Amino acid sequence: MALVPCQVLRAAILLSYCSILCNYKAIDMPAHQTYGGSWKFLTFIDLVIQAVFFGICVLTDLSSLLTKGNDSQEQERQLKKLIALRDWVMAVLAFPVGVFVVTMFWSIYIYDRELVYPKLLDNFIPAWLNHGMHTTVLPFVLIEMRTTHHQYPSRSCGLAAVCTFAVGYILWVCWIHHVTGVWVYPLLEHLSQGVKIIFFAAVTIIINIFYLVGEVLNNYIWDTQK
């Protein structure tokens, strides 16, 4: 795909995430006023990750256009660093976390929405915003993977980074419960201590699997193995 259409596409996706974030933050929900605010929800963290990622993509495209035809080696080095950062964020955060949020949310929602997204939230969050947070993330990240080849880090480094993120968020959720006595997600209220440990371990494994899926899909689309 040509560079200019990619630029327009990425800019449009970035603007959509900015709109979603602004509308979400404007909602006067009680949960936003409690300890941790919006940052206790993985959905919000993922939205920030996606917005930052596509912001880096847009910045990379603009830098590519500005340095096109320029023989400056310093500018070329800076562009390569920016591309490397874009690829790392895509591999370690944007794809695995984005796919995890979409698949886990809708899987639990279909089973019993009260465990993850109580019906009470319909009074605060409109349907379009819910889909903006929990649905469009997947096609957006797949479109990015299809339009641009991303260089993945070594598998060990990539998995270590994904594990660090997953464990960090789990510890953050546990800390919030320690401080407030309330679990971020109603689902956790129904699990015993032993089952919670198994659940957290399973979540970590699943997000690592999504990292591997992203690596395999990227290689398949761009045929890097050949």
Split at pLDDT 50, 70, 90, the class of 123 is confident
For the segment 48-72, the average pLDDT, to the nearest whole number, is 87
Mean pLDDT of 85-108: 96
d(CA 160, CA 62) in angstroms, rounded, equals 31
Summarize pLDDT for 196-215 with one digit per residue, the tens: 999 999 999 999 999 999 99
> Domain residues of the chain, as ranges?
6-27+36-224
Confidence of residue 73 (pLDDT cuts 50, 70, 90): confident
What value does the mean pLDDT take over residues 111-123? 88
Q: What is the structure's pLDDT at 224?
A: 56
User: 77-81, 149-153, 177-181: which range is least confident on average?
Assistant: 77-81
| Own/partner long-range contacts of 185-193 (Cβ < 8 Å, ≥24 apart) | 185/115, 185/116, 186/114, 186/115, 186/116, 186/118, 187/108, 187/115, 187/116, 190/115
Average pLDDT, the chain: 90
Is the sign of the CA dihedral 34, 199, 169, 175 positive or negative? Answer: positive
